[in-house]
Amino acid sequence: MSEIRDARTDDAPASSAKDRHVRDEATDQLVDAKGDHVVGRAVTINKPAAELFAYFRDFSKLSSFMENVVRVDILDGSRSHWVVKAPAGKTVEWDARITEERAGELIAWVSEDGADIANSGRIEFRDAGARGTVVTATIAYDPPAGTIGKLVAKLFQREPAIQARRDLRRFKQLMETGEIATSSRTKAQLEEEKA
């Protein structure tokens, strides 16, 4: 196992550690770990934390900036049903339950038993004064076995960090500008891009 970094000489966040074990341990402390680990990304958004939290907390709106999310159905105050794009035109689904919530500060969730992909995550909103709010996403997931699992893993294992980064950028664009930037010229091109 890795040695714990010396906090006296290295203030870098654990998510940037060169040693994978350090990154994984840091993830374990943040979320209910489910298998393989991904530490997500931070983005600064020029809006107050309360406003960002409110938008994010309504999970039914997440598909507006999360590219792979087809839809999220709200089941009750703490449970939701997720339908997410997978390779080869398929989708994967799970129910998620909120495990921790502090208004304007953080939301954490974990998938319930029977999930196509076991996963957990945590979004934190930290006030950054005149610059707005630092939003940090930490996501852990566990790709299933089998052929479909391999396909899913291919998508999720290779891409989750990139996907998280792009989703956070889209969230920032939507919150700061009221829209998501596109270089498409026509509606048909835009549809193709989103598909």
Partner 1 sequence: MRALTWHGKHDVRVDTVDDPEILNPRDCIIKVTSTAICGSDLHLYDGFIPTMQSGDILGHEFMGEVVETGPKSTLKKGQRVVVPFTIACGSCYHCGKHQYSACDNGLPADNQDIAQELYGQPMSGLFGYSHMTGGYAGGQAEYVRVPFSDVGPIVIPDGVEDDKVLFLSDILPTGWQAAENAQIEPGDTIAVWGCGPVGLFAVQSAFLMGAERVIAIDHFPHRLELAKKFGAETINFEKSAVYEALMEMTGGIGPDACIDSVGLEAHGFFVDNVLDQIKKSTFLGTDRIHANRQAILACRKGGRISMPAVYGGFVDKWPLGAFMEKGLTLKTGQTHVQHYMPALLNAILEGKIDSDFLISHRLPLEQAPQGYKMFHDNQNEVTKVVLKPGLAAESSIAAE
Whichever of 128 and 148 has its CB closer to partner 1, that residue is: 128
One residue of 12, 88, 181, 195 binding partner 1 per CB under 8 A: 181
16 binds partner 1 per the rule CB under 8 A: no
Chain positions 103 to 142 lying near partner 1, rule: CB under 8 A, are 131-132
Does position 18 interact with partner 1 (CB under 8 A)? The reply is no
User: E strand or H helix at 109, and its extent?
Assistant: strand 106-111
Cβ-proximal residues to 97 (8 Å cutoff; 6+ apart), any chain:
78, 79, 109, 110, 111, 112
Using the rule CB under 8 A, is 41 a contact of partner 1?
no
102 vs 126 by CB, closer to partner 1? 126
The CB-based long-range contact list for 130-133 (8 Å cut-off, 24+ gap) reads: 131/44, 131/46, 132/44, 132/45, 132/46, 132/47, 132/48, 133/44, 133/45, 133/47, 133/48, 133/49, 133/52
- Total residues contacting partner 1 by CB under 8 A comes to 26
Decide if residue 180 touches partner 1 (CB under 8 A).
yes
x/- map, 82-101, partner 1, by CB under 8 A: --------------------
**Residue 72: in which H helix or E strand, if any?**
strand 69-74
**Stretch binding partner 1 (CB under 8 A), from 11-19, 50-58, 92-100, 175-183:** 175-183
> Quick check: 39 and 26 in contact, CB under 8 A?
yes
- Give yes or no for a contact between 139 and 121, defined as CB atoms under 8 angstroms apart: yes
**Does residue 183 interact with partner 1 by CB under 8 A?**
yes
Nearer to partner 1, 1 or 130 (CB): 130
**Chain contacts with partner 1 (rule: CB under 8 A):** 44, 46, 131-132, 162, 165-167, 169-170, 172-173, 176-188, 190
